[in-house]
Amino acid sequence: MKNKKIRLIIAIVFVLIAALTIWYFMPTTFLSKVNPSDIKSISVFDGNTGESFDFSDRDEIRYVAENIQSTKMKKDTLSIGYMGYSFRISFFDENGKEIESFIINSSNTIRKDPFFYRCDGDLCFDYLKELEEKYSS
One-letter-per-residue 3-state SS of 3-49: HHHHHHHHHHHHHHHHHHHHHHHCCECCCCCCCHHHCCEEEEEECCC
Instruction: Write the pLDDT tens digit of every residue in 79-120.
Output: 988 888 999 999 999 999 999 999 999 999 999 989 999 998
Tens of pLDDT along 4-14?
Answer: 888 888 899 99
Of residues 32 and 40, more confidence is placed in 40
| Cross-strand pairs, 91 | 42, 100
| Confidence grade of residue 137 (pLDDT, cut at 50, 70, 90) | low
The closest alpha carbon to 103, from 60, 65, 57, 46, belongs to: 46
Residues 6+ apart with CB under 8 A from 62: 36, 37
What proportion of the chain, given as a percentage, has pLDDT over 90?
72
pLDDT at 53 over 70: yes
Largest alpha-carbon pair distance within the chain?
75
CB of 107 closer than 8 Å to CB of 100: no
Distance CA 65, CA 113 (A): 20
